[in-house]
Structure 1
Amino acid sequence: MHRRPSRVNTDVCFPMTEAAYKAGASAFFKRPNGKYKHYEESEHPTESSYRFTFYSTAYSTVHARSLAEIPPAGLTLSDMIKAGCWWIDVLSPTDLEMRDFGRIFGIHPLTVEDIETEETREKCELFKEYYFICFRSFDQDHYSPTYLQPVSLYVVVMKEGILSFHFRPTPHPSNVRRRIRQLKDYVTVTPDWINYALIDDITDSFAPLIRTVEFEVDSIDELVLILKESEQTDMLRRIGHCRKKVLGLLRLLGSKADVMKGLIKRCNELRWDVVISNEIVLYLGDIQGMISIEMTQANNQINDILSRLTALGTILVPMNLVTGLWGMNVRVPGQDKDSLGWFVSILMGLLIFAIVGVVVAHRTGIV
């Protein structure tokens, strides 16, 4: 009894022919998604989803399932691209789609490889006909199991247009398109400006998370002096959770300032037609300043958390040493007497030590 081969078997045993591969962009419009992912990563959208979004200053925004569905009746994609500044955003491109994008738009194989392999290192690279930027955002869905995990956005900026690729849904492209609609009467929309707007929107997305960390640090600062000893476990858990969130922020923000410095430096040195205007350079410098401020805030917050942990440990460790020592097989002061004088004296001594430690830490600005 013969079994019909599955889609995976079909892709492996009956690969695309050489003629179909050389057919260009038309060959992959109806091809099923054949890209494999690790089990912990999100699956690619199905071929029925709208993975391609086209924007042009001469036409409205178009959402399509494939590149072939973008042009309306009577027009070709080439005509739409020649009409003005354009932007194509692609969600979860397959390897074959990336190779065709490389042939159609003249993208270097190294850039294609970086996008296909989902390069995680943030960088800015300059090529003859375009410059390539890899910039990382994060999953902003609070209810998602991948919340705060990095999401890379790959941007290819050319003279006439811009290509952006990402492998997980992200709100940044739609936010930039909404911003373009609001500002189109006041700014000149160019590929460089769209690239700036994408980077700016990614940078702004960190602000709510930083404010959340600030509120958490303030609440810890207020509660550390009034919580009972039985409630210290919850306090330590909150401090650890906040520290983990701040470290995640530092990992995401760490290399962004270097990317912006490299982008500004290389674009100022360009001698070809795709030159960023002085206004865009000022915008990029503003983003660089915002990133530096956010990194400084994150460093200050983690220093505050560590100083509070140090102060708390300085107070609790000696107290635990005393109680733990007398819990062992050693002679306890006053054990031969029936009165509670020694016991009360020891407790009062520990209490006075804790109060003095808190007062000293508060006066020195540690807590």
Structure 2
Amino acid sequence: MALFEQPGGAPPPALAARAPHLLGHYTTPLSAVPSYEQLPGAGQNGFVGGGNGVPIPGASTSAAGQGHDRPYRFSFYSNALSATIHARSLSELPAEGQTFEDMFLGRPGSSHSTGTTPTANLTSRGASQSPENCTWWLDVLSPTDEEMKLLSKVFNIHPLTTEDIQMEETREKIELFRNYYLVCFRGFDQDPYSPTHLEPLNMYIIVFREGILSFHFRPTPHPQNVRRRIKQLKDYISVTSDWISYALIDDITDAFGPLIQGIEYEVDSIDELVLILKEAEQSDMLRRIGTCRKKVMGLLRLMGNKADVVKGLAKRCNENWRVAPTSDIGLYLSDIQDHLITMTQNLNHYEKILSRSHSNYLAQISIEMTDANNQINDVLSKLTALGTVLIPMNLVTGLWGMNVHVPGQNASGFAWFGSIIGALAAFALIAGYSTYKLMVRR
């Protein structure tokens, strides 16, 4: 199935006027769009270049080779369609008997079929709709090098843009080119059961006047959320490529809201409990503080450059720029910028609170250790005082414990024994009282 193939090689006037960047300077029919099974060197095991080649994302490894277990990697939306088209490869996007030109321009094609194809049926409104009122959106998950080369050739995408997408450029930015502008905006993996949860996820948005291309390399709910939003608001808004771009940026920004709200609750809980918990209940407080600070720093890293990107995009909302967003979109972008600035300020505030709570926790631990040391010192002082009393007595009694003559040993009765015991007791009382007074005076 040829992409925008034209009999005789000459582009039709409607397509040339509607989507000149799709045709560019090409006057010959484009080659067939390859599916996974048609990629050069693709084997039955889903690898390019045989069994030792590079694996194709989502390729089937079943012996049947049908590929029905592969995920849908391409999603095509158009306001001339009654539903979104989902496909596993580019060649599966058009309906039977429909060309890519018909699909992008909202035409049903010469022999439109309503069979069991994976594509959605075109509405009668799409058949009579003028190309100027048709806005399309092609979302691509994990594009291969062959697919990027083909899309770059067809849509006349600059090699720098293609390189950024293929290399998964992580820096968020806005770039204006001759026939489109590129927005690189970074979200995060929202699947809590995924091993890459909360890791950065780049969204690359190429916005033309008549449509939009979006690329990402991991599944994300943002495209589906935007399509649902379009379905709810299509009777009240004009769905343009600039609006779809804004909606994607807005949905990525809104995804940070629940996380920041959860961090706020956790920070408030830590701040209240850090100084009132008993010693036995503080065992996991340091872990809670460390985990929360790690999450805050990760979100700050994700939020770092977003406000500047949206601000730069809003500044370019001028009718004098041919490919920049229109001025109406600038109002929406300014609202996103306010949200981003507010969330960044909140995260910075939470980081300060956590830093203070961390210091308070360490101070609390230090106070408890000081109290424990004071108790130990007090016990040792009492033992020292007791030793001060007993050692002289041991010296006196030990002197007479040797083989020497003891006064009164030949006397009858217990007079001598009672006198010695009384003298030792009196010495113990006087020495203990003197030691107590000395310790109290200190």
TM-score > 0.5, shorter chain as reference: yes
Structure 1 segment 1-367 matched on structure 2, within 5 A: 24=31, 26-28=33-35, 30=37, 31=39, 32=42, 44-46=57-59, 48-59=70-81, 60-83=83-106, 84-268=134-318, 270-272=320-322, 274-320=323-369, 323=372, 332-338=380-386
Query: 1: distance between equivalents of 2:166 and 2:316?
Result: 25
**Letter of the structure 1 residue corresponding to residue 383 of structure 2:** Q
> Shift of residue 294 of structure 1?
0.4
Q: Distance in 2 between matches of 1:112 and 1:91?
A: 15
Question: For this pair of structures, how many residues does the alignment match?
Answer: 311
Q: Deviations over 1:206-258 (max 9, x none)?
A: 00101111111122233223311122221111111111111111011011011
Unaligned runs of 5+ in 2: 1-28, 50-54, 60-66, 107-133, 388-442
Q: Which has the larger radius of gyration?
A: 2
Give the superposition deviation at 1:311: 2.1
Aligned amino acid, residue 120 of structure 1: T
Q: TM-score, normalised by structure 1?
A: 0.78
| CA apart distance, 1:269 | 7.6
Aligned 8 A contact 1:34 1:94 in 2: no
TM superposition shift of 1:312: 2.5
Cα 1:113–1:324 change in 2 (3 A) is farther
Give the SS at the match of 1:53: strand
| CA distance, structure 2, for counterparts of residue 326 and residue 24 of structure 1 | 87
CA change 1:244–1:25 in 2 (3 A) is: farther
Deviation, 1:323, is 4.6
**Is 261-270 or 289-298 further displaced after alignment?**
261-270
- Equivalent residue for 2:63? none
3-state DSSP of counterpart to 1:333: helix
Structure 1 pair 85–177 and aligned structure 2 pair: CA distance change class (3 A):
same
Structure 1, 189-198 or 77-86: larger mean CA deviation: 77-86
Asked if 2 retains the 8 angstrom alpha-carbon contact of 1:25 and 1:100, the reply is no
Higher relative contact order (CA 8 A, sep 6+): 1
Kindly indicate whether the alpha-carbon contact (under 8 Å) linking 2:203 and 2:215 is maintained by their aligned counterparts in 1: yes
Question: Matches of 2:265 and 2:31 in 1, distance apart?
Answer: 53
Q: Check whether the contact 2:205–2:245 (CA below 8 A) recurs between aligned residues.
A: yes
Report how far residue 327 of structure 1 moved.
Answer: 7.4
Report the Cα offset of residue 76 of structure 1.
1.0
Find the aligned partners of 2:197 and 2:185 in 1 and give their Cα distance.
Answer: 18
Contact 2:275 2:360 in 1 (8 A): no
One-letter code aligned to 2:90 = L
Aligned partners of 1:337, 1:61: CA distance in 2, in Å? 89
Gaps of 5+ in 1: 1-21, 37-41, 340-367
SS of residue paired to 1:26: coil
In structure 2, relative to structure 1, the CA distance for the partners of 1:207 and 1:184 (3 Å cut) is same
- 1:277 shift after superposition: 2.2
* 8 Å contact kept, 1:131–1:157: yes
Identity of aligned residues (%): 53
Change (3 A) 1:219 1:43: farther
Q: Distance between the aligned counterparts of 2:166 and 2:335, measured in 1?
A: 31
TM-score normalized with structure 2 length: 0.65
Q: Contact conserved, 1:29 with 1:68, CA < 8 A, in 2?
A: no
> 1:188–1:57: structure 2 CA closer, same or farther, 3 Å change rule?
same
One-letter amino acid of the counterpart of residue 66, structure 1: S
CA distance, structure 1, for counterparts of residue 219 and residue 91 of structure 2: 22
